[in-house]
Amino acid sequence: MRSNLIQVSELSHNYACGRSALKSLNLVANDGERIGIVGPNGAGKTTLFLKLCGVIPSRLGQIQIAGLDPADSDQRRQLPNFVGVVFQNPDDQLFGSCLLDDVAFGPLNQGLSAKDAAVRAEDALVVVGLAGFGDRVPHKLSGGEKRRAALAGVLAMRPEILLLDEPTVFLDPRGRREFITLLNQLSGTILIATHDLGLVAETCSRAMVLDNGQISFDGSVSELFNDPERLTAHGLELPSLPALRPESFMRPLAQVR
């Protein structure tokens, strides 16, 4: 297990309008960890992910992710081999004209032959439960299928780190359940930005509260869920399902279903 797989130091970001999205943020994540980054809308979760994957430029030395610095253009080019991002809106990510082409897009960019890329894409579609969907066009998929297809596109690149931005938003209960089951089957380091605390409870062992561009809490999920005042202070709320009562989180996460 590699420690400090992701290391962020004093990371700040201001939008053109002058609003601060991130304020001197520090973060460390180790290999194999599953971290839920929770916070209200506009807290800076998406900005943090865009910084981590190099879409929004950062300064040299602020971010080290899988041993690479996104601020360095050569290292940034290698990032997609190690870091996969699933964006909030799957329609932003499904740009291929059919699903197989779309999922194979990343492996082809990694330099794989068309044959190997197709095999990788088909494997990834099987993993996300979309076997046989290769010929389907993205705009004819349901919301849940689109979400899983977007994840397949990233998984086909076999990244070490997965960044999932609001992965359950717009999903119906069944789609959400299927997606959570799928996430629990994946290995590797996973960071999930969400305000779906039920999702965090079922998939993560560690939670961070990001509000107003700063991390105000970093600890175990059970610790966070046993502190309703903290949640309320950051505009968060425990799900009201009986299975997600605070005492449920005292049990190991694998039993929380």
Partner 1 sequence: MTLALRDPDTPDSPLARWDPRWKLAGVVVAVLAIAMLETIAASAVAAVAAFGVVLLARMPVSAIFGRIGLLLLAVIPVFCVVPLTQPASDAGWDLGFLRVSIPGLLAAGAVGFRVLGIGLWGLMLMRSGAFPHTLAAAHALFVPGVLVQIAQLAHRYTFLFTAEARRTRIALRTRAFRAKTDRHSYRTLSHATGGLLVRSADRAENVSAAMRCRGFRGEYRTLATFQTTANDVLGFAAVAVGAVALVVVDRVGGP
Give min distance, CB of 102 to partner 1, in A.
Answer: 9
Query: What stretches of the chain adopt beta strand conformation (E)?
Result: 6-14, 20-29, 34-38, 63-65, 83-86, 161-165, 189-194, 206-211, 214-220
How far is residue 246 from each of residues 142, 220, 235, measured CA to CA in Å?
33, 13, 18
Q: Which residue has the tokens 């998406």?
A: 46
Position 87 contacts partner 1 (CB under 8 A) = yes
Position 84 contacts partner 1 (CB under 8 A) = yes
How far is residue 115 from each of residues 108, 119, 173, 197, measured CA to CA in Å?
10, 6, 37, 41
Position 105 contacts partner 1 (CB under 8 A) = yes
**Helix segments in 5-67, DSSP class H:** 45-52
Q: In this chain, which stretch among 35-43, 51-59, 185-193, 207-215 interacts with partner 1, using CB under 8 A? A: 51-59
Among residues 21, 63, 125, 157, the one that binds partner 1 under rule CB under 8 A: 157
Among residues 28, 71, 108, 186, the one that binds partner 1 under rule CB under 8 A: 108
Name the burial class of residue 114, with classes exposed (0-12), middle (13-18) and buried (19+) by CB atoms within 10 angstroms of its CB: exposed
Position 73 contacts partner 1 (CB under 8 A) = no
Position 92 contacts partner 1 (CB under 8 A) = yes
Residue closer to partner 1 (CB basis): 146 or 176? 146
3-state DSSP assignment of residue 163: strand
Position 114 contacts partner 1 (CB under 8 A) = yes
Position 91 contacts partner 1 (CB under 8 A) = yes
Position 96 contacts partner 1 (CB under 8 A) = yes
Position 137 contacts partner 1 (CB under 8 A) = yes
Position 139 contacts partner 1 (CB under 8 A) = yes
- Binding footprint of partner 1 on the chain (CB under 8 A): 50, 53-55, 77, 79-81, 83-85, 87, 89, 91-98, 100-101, 104-106, 108-110, 114, 117-118, 121, 137-139, 153-154, 157
